[in-house]
């Protein structure tokens, strides 16, 4: 799916930086396209997030830095995704004998990474949720049909009773992730119990998801301009798996 629409080529721009600088002295940066889809949450376009994304988008960034900075964004994504899971009222007593009306997490969770790039997001999930169970799904494009094909999955037996954080850093056409949701639903996971985390999404991928699975929540750091003729996200960051594992 190539980006043929002119609107996809135009990126929004915003001034970034603390307010002690007047607006005209703050640098202008490209910020995420906003999409009118109820299921999509885009992280706040803070100077920190834009600086982290600038690092991992840069073709000169070496692998060690790519891993370090993408992990920092992954942490932000996981923390935001956890906000979409249910909580229960929990009133506790503090060491000074006062009560505090708070909340506690409700329900069990599970990560599911779409191999291989999704595995790069597992560390951030483990850092936020100690001993979290993590399932795996391997989907690859069939050489003959060009359609995504399921090669392997290994998921917890009780995944149908869990809230699932689905991990894949780049939402391009959405073909693999849509198939991964089909697999999860076939194991009894309700659509509304799935939250899909990615660093960069294309408008086309987000729209495809909203159309087929409107109840699946998407948490992304950035919606980019579109896809090129090879279905790479543009401006994007190239092949995430190659940059994280092999380059």
Residues that bind ligand URA in the complex, under the rule CB under 6 A: 117, 170, 172, 232-233, 236, 239-241
Please identify, using beta-carbon distances, which residue of 56 and 78 lies nearer to ligand URA: 56
Omega into 116 within 30° of 0, i.e. cis? yes
Q: Measured between alpha carbons, how far is residue 19 from residues 49, 86, 148, 192 in Å?
A: 17, 35, 47, 39
Q: Is 58 tagged catalytic? A: no
- Is 75 a catalytic site residue? no
Residue 137 vs 233, nearer CB to ligand URA:
233
Question: In angstroms, what is the minimal distance from the CB of 233 to ligand URA?
Answer: 4
Which is closer to ligand URA, CB of 31 or CB of 201? 201
Least distance CB 141 / ligand URA (angstroms)? 11
Min CB(152)–ligand URA separation in Å: 19
Closest CA to 44 of 226, 225, 198, 219: 219
- In the residue annotation, 141 being an active-site residue is answered as yes
Question: Which listed residue (145, 162, 168, 185) is catalytic?
Answer: 145
Asked if residue 71 lies in contact with residue 61, where contact means CB atoms within 8 angstroms, the answer is no
Please identify which of the residues 58, 63, 91, 141 carries the catalytic annotation.
141
Residue 156 to residue 133: CA distance in whole angstroms: 7
Q: Which of 75, 116, 185, 239 is catalytic?
A: 239
Looking at the Cβ atoms of 57 and 136, the one nearer to ligand URA is 57
State the minimum distance, in angstroms, from the CB of residue 174 to ligand URA. 10
* Active site annotation includes 239: yes
Cross-strand bridge partners of residue 30: 13
Q: What is the Cα–Cα distance from 10 to 31, expressed in whole angstroms? A: 11
- C-alpha distances (whole Å) from 104 to each of 92, 129, 134 are 10, 14, 22
- The catalytic residue positions are 141, 145, 239, 242
């Amino acid at each position: 799916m190539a980006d043929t629409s002119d609107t996809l080529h135009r990126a929004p721009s915003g001034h970034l930086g603390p307010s002690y600088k007047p607006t005209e002295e703050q640098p202008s940066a490209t910020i995420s396209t906003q999409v009118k889809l109820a299921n999509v949450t885009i992280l706040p376009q803070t100077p920190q997030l834009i600086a982290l994304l600038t690092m991992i988008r840069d073709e000169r960034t070496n692998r060690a830095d790519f891993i370090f900075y993408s992990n920092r964004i992954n942490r932000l994504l996981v923390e935001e995704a956890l906000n979409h899971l249910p909580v229960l009222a929990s009133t506790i007593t503090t060491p000074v004998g006062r009560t505090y009306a708070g909340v506690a997490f409700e329900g069990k969770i599970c990560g599911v990474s779409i191999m291989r790039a999704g595995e790069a997001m597992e560390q951030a999930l483990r850092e936020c949720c100690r001993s979290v169970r993590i399932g795996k799904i391997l989907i690859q494009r069939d050489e003959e049909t060009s359609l995504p094909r399921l090669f392997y999955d290994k998921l917890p037996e009780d995944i149908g009773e869990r809230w699932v954080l689905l991990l894949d850093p780049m939402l391009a056409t959405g073909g693999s992730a849509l198939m991964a949701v089909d697999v999860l639903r076939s194991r009894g996971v309700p659509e509304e119990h799935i939250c899909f985390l990615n660093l960069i999404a294309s408008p086309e991928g987000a729209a495809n998801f909203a159309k087929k699975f409107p109840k699946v929540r998407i948490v992304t750091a950035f919606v980019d301009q579109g896809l090129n003729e090879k279905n790479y996200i543009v401006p994007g960051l190239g092949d995430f798996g190659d940059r994280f594992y092999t380059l």
